[in-house]
Structure 1
Amino acid sequence: MTTDSSVASSSPGPTAWTTGRIITKDFPSPDLVRLRMLVEDRHRHWPGQHYLVRLRAPDDYTAQRSYSIASDDNDPLVEFLIERLPNGEISEFLADVAEVGDVLEMRGPIGRWFRWDTKTPALCLVGGTGVVPAVAMTRAARHLGREDLLRVVAVARRPEELPYAEELAQAGATITFTRLATSERAAGAPTRAEIAPLLVGIQIAYVCGSSRFAQFAEEPLIESGLEPAAIRVEQFGATG
């Protein structure tokens, strides 16, 4: 995140449609595609924000979908991690058809509710591909030398289902697997006993994952004493 005062003090406003060129494309797993894009007329972004990506057919039929930004604002490219969803018009195109050099319609960055200001002590409780905004927050905190402001709890069924697992672990994230026991803990969702100590000094929490995960995640946060108004939730899914 830039420390320029004119940017840091401003509120994100409406952004116009622009274009982004795919610079790199890779597959961290068979169902995930990572795109790094050069965005034309790019606006600065806050961790937690997202872009709309729009596809246009020859008959002018359009479809669009939101994708969270994984990259830090200081990265010259904008990074997205996209899950190929069954019958997903856009995710299947981006995974199976789009190529390096292709230009896509984009609008962003978007999002006031879920953005992190890089100053408020925060906890991220994220699941599966919902780790993406937490990755952006982790990268921003590292760039600013304020890792002390951010704590991350990342949840997945198994290690191979947790994107950015190595990066998050190196950043000190608490990683839990619901279907695999490790030397540190039994298999299962993070408990109130695990989450409560991480909330000491925390003023805001960000929850991102499937609708089912989001429903689970709010409960231990509230039970641990965090006010509901301090919890920001972002859900995703095949029809989200």
Structure 2
Amino acid sequence: MLYISDNLKWLRNKRNLSQQEVADGMKLPVDRYKKYEYGKNVPPAETLLLISRYYHISIDLLLTIDLRKISIDNLLQLEDNRIVLPITVDQNGDNLIEIIPHKARAGYLTGYADAEFIENLQQISLPFLGPGKMRAFPIGGDSMPPHTDSTFIVGKYIENLGEIKKDKTYILITLSEGITYKRLHSKNAEAVLVEPDNIVYSPYEIKLSDILEIWEYVAHIGRDDSKQQSPEPESVKEMFLELKRDIYDLKTQYSK
């Protein structure tokens, strides 16, 4: 369900603005703006960008979250006062990597912007990955070999679509597919063309308005499929802890 029309009306009323004033502020014809607010049309990607910049709220929140039911002031804000998704930090203020287990995969679309949902996920810190917001996602299918159903992809949150680059791989959270992991072939003002690494499958387009989140691949963790097909949260966390210990041992070895 898209909440864009309800959110437009609520945001405008919160500022005590008329439809004409909002349309002028966005440099849109007022008749076109009214159709968005009345729910007759869904704004295209370029208009969503205008709305996002006008209200300083991310597109994913405008589309998928009923802003009337949350406290915007409690969400994380960036330098330009733009609101983004909730994240978790450790006692030192460093970002933690939340692990989305297989069981929580189906609920991610409704929980990704819910602070309580995020806080209840297993977490791990992997400082060697460098700065940025990271999250680990389970992937499925055989479209991106050598990754399998037991692989977790660690992604770095991409805030600006302009940062995505051809031939790099990304985890895309979309309204139509949920969690999908693919390689970027090309992009335009309306959509991105993604392709699986398995040549059996064909490239396909994803509309920008369908994308909720984009995470750039930074690492992956896999398990022996013969031992476990769908790791539970505790075993997934142990995978990351084991990786962290191995890297620490390597650093210690080479520092001698």
> TM class by shorter-chain length?
under 0.3
Q: TM-score, normalised by structure 1?
A: 0.26
Q: TM-score, normalised by structure 2?
A: 0.25
Which structure is richer in relative contact order (CA contacts within 8 A, separation 6 or more)? 1
Q: Write 1 or 2 for the structure with the bigger share of helix.
A: 2
